[in-house]
Structure 1
Amino acid sequence: MTAFDAELPEALAGERLDRIVAMLCDVPRSVAGELIDAGEVRIDGEVRTRRADRLDEGQRLTLDVPAGPEELTVEADPDVPVDVVHEDEHLLVIDKPAGLVVHPGAGNPTGTLVHGLLARYPEIADVGEPFRPGIVHRLDRETSGLLAVARTAEAHAGLTELLRVHDIVRRYRTLVWDHVTEPRGQVDAPIGRSTKDPTKMGIVVGGREARTGYEVVRRYDEPVPVTELVCHLETGRTHQIRVHLRGIGHPVVGDPRYGGVRQTLPAPRQFLHAEHLAFRHPVTGQPVEADSPLPADLREVLARLS
């Protein structure tokens, strides 16, 4: 990481924040946008999380810039497990275990899924961005389940477009606190960086649009009231399901960041599993569909309920 601290020159006055960060820090605009979303960009000492904000001449921009592609090296690591549930010449579907980070970043320079993928599929090194080759969407470290990985540039572009137009079915299984009364519903609320804690996301005015559908699978009464849900993602914002469910008063069981840890029902991790993934193949047009059974650690939590 390299620290950046400079005043905005006259030539960039009135430009969008993401374009300014990309130009001044010499990073792709996608990376600039992610830095903004993550709360890493400060203007005159204040965190800014809106990519479209316009700046004035003389305002001070500060952030830590990630290493450029020429400085980044992601080495293949055959010791990282890679559970492949679908494979063809253009793409993969991976079943990620809980505890595995998807791609390298701050605090996780090695031992990620990307390192394991490079050992088995070295051709993905040139697909997408250098520090996350092949990756088009992510799962949190402690979320298990399915994600798609591109093996070719054509598949990468196609999967990215499917995500952009919300044409990939992503279904998650979760357990939340208390009884969800309605049998089904949708949370439609914008998500952005929390103004109180920049390490968290929240439902914020001016955030990015986000929609999560949910359906009740089963309500439990003992030892505590909780509800098993399936959730459907229309958008894919950081921590979306966890933030939305907390926003309606039902945090995910075992989620330490968003109020889901309670001693009355211990859980080994946040109860969130990406169980189903379906889309039309971006190159061949054929349907691709995969399912992942609930892992043993989460099944054990359900076994304690009645």
Structure 2
Amino acid sequence: MPIIAQTLCPDPVAPEEAGTRLDKWLAARLPDLSRTRIKALIDEGQVSAAGLTITDGSARVKPGQTFAVAVPPDAPAEPEPQDIALTVVHEDDDLIVIDKPAGLVVHPAPGSPDQTLVNALLAHCGDSLSGIGGVRRPGIVHRLDKDTSGLMVAAKNDRAHHALAAQFEAHTIERAYQALVWGTPVPPAGEIEGNIGRSGADRKKMAVVKSGGKPALTRYKVLQTFLGGAVSLVECRLATGRTHQIRVHMTSIGHPLVGDQTYGRSRAARLKAASPDLRESLSRFPRQALHAYLLGFLHPTSGYMLKFLADFPCDIKELLHLLELE
């Protein structure tokens, strides 16, 4: 049965209410919804006026305006197993290593209540997943962005979860990514250091901040250049694991990732020497061209060092092929 959202339509804005923040106005008109819930609904695009979606809770309401608020039903308290195909790189009694495809969200969250990696792991592993991550994140020790592909490890029992989490905390996990970026970093190998926190200009984005945030360190190395240095393949290794760290750090030095809709802007139109097909492929690449290709850690039971490699997925392979042909 399809999930149907309840649509609430408060009375129009009264003249004396003009100039009130939208989130505050909705909270007063819809007392059954908390202001936090209303803010989340606005962020998720569930609020509209005259058929247009509104995503700015600080927008000021005008006399006579009417709003529609779509309230999806509450998600299940616990994620349910769902038969979603997984590429399993390694599995034993303690852990599972998977090659996550781009587009797969790691765990349920507002806007992604199901069809996540957690739902897939519950179907694949049954009740063996570690519960330390909570009911929404069983087995999850670390994350990759939805549109980042590559290697992840999940714990299948609490002992393994503790041991893996301790390695992440101590920064002894070996993690390496490869990415296509605009331009060529100078020097060709180096470190990017800068605290990462919420952007003051856009709370949905992260940024290198002058005060606050969390320390972050990324080590990068240029592996190959294309189109006379207009695009480069780089390797990035994380000394820390902050939200969007590679994307934010590479952008901070002027080399955002190809395809990054949040932190980068396509430079394909400037590539006069590139073929039309290549310019089109670069400008329309649908996600950040970022792949977690290497993952290494000590096995929580045997103590042996495990190291895994994952080849590029087809979309990045095809783009690299076009670049190499130029």
Q: Could you state the TM-score of these two structures normalised by the residue count of structure 1? A: 0.74
2:308 to 273, 284, 290: 290
Over residues 251-275 of structure 1, what are the superposed CA-to-partner deviations in whole Å (9 max), with x where a residue is unaligned?
0010010024344332232100000
Q: Which residue of 2 aligns with 1:213?
A: 219
Kept in 2: contact 1:170–1:233 (CA 8 A): yes
Q: Which amino acid aligns with 1:246?
A: T
> Does residue 1:300 correspond to 2:318, yes or no?
yes
Identity of aligned residues (%): 46
Q: Distance in 2 between matches of 1:128 and 1:187?
A: 30
Q: Which residue of 2 aligns with 1:90?
A: 94
Q: Which residue of 2 aligns with 1:279?
A: 297
Kept in 2: contact 1:118–1:124 (CA 8 A): yes
Q: Distance in 2 between matches of 1:156 and 1:261?
A: 40
TM-superposed CA distance for 1:125, in Å, is 6.0
Q: Distance in 2 between matches of 1:125 and 1:106?
A: 22
Q: Which residue of 1 aligns with 2:255?
A: 250
Matches within 5 A, 1:112-191: 112-122=116-126, 123-124=128-129, 126-191=131-196
Q: Which residue of 2 aligns with 1:81?
A: 85
Q: Distance in 2 between matches of 1:260 and 1:99?
A: 20
Q: Distance in 2 between matches of 1:135 and 1:156?
A: 8
Over residues 3-51 of structure 1, what are the superposed CA-to-partner deviations in whole Å (9 max), with x where a residue is unaligned?
xxxxxxxxxxxxxxxxxxxxxxxxxxxxxxxxxxxxxxxxxx99xxxxx
Structure 1: runs of 5+ lacking an equivalent: 1-44, 47-66
Give the aligned CA root-mean-square deviation in angstroms: 2.0
Kept in 1: contact 2:184–2:222 (CA 8 A): no
> Does residue 1:270 correspond to 2:288, yes or no?
yes
Q: Distance in 2 between matches of 1:93 and 1:231?
A: 20
Q: Which amino acid aligns with 1:86?
A: H
Q: Distance in 2 between matches of 1:72 and 1:261?
A: 40
Q: Which amino acid aligns with 1:209?
A: P
Q: Which amino acid aligns with 1:294?
A: F
Q: Distance in 1 between matches of 2:114 and 2:267?
A: 32
Q: State the SS of the aligned residue for 1:259.
A: coil
Structure 2: runs of 5+ lacking an equivalent: 1-56, 59-73, 270-281
Kept in 1: contact 2:130–2:155 (CA 8 A): no
Q: Distance in 2 between matches of 1:99 and 1:303?
A: 22
Q: State the SS of the aligned residue for 2:161.
A: helix
TM-superposed CA distance for 1:127, in Å, is 4.4
Q: Which residue of 2 aligns with 1:20?
A: none
Q: State the SS of the aligned residue for 1:121.
A: helix
Q: Which residue of 1 aligns with 2:234?
A: 229
Q: Distance in 2 between matches of 1:231 and 1:252?
A: 12
Count of residues paired in the alignment: 239
Further displaced range: 122-131 or 82-91: 122-131
Cα gap change, 1:165 to 1:125, in 2 (>3 Å): closer
Q: Distance in 2 between matches of 1:301 and 1:84?
A: 25
Q: Distance in 1 between matches of 2:125 and 2:184?
A: 45
> Does residue 1:200 correspond to 2:205, yes or no?
yes
Over residues 231-267 of structure 1, what are the superposed CA-to-partner deviations in whole Å (9 max), with x where a residue is unaligned?
0011100000000000001000100100243443322
Q: Which residue of 2 aligns with 1:42?
A: none
TM-superposed CA distance for 1:126, in Å, is 3.1
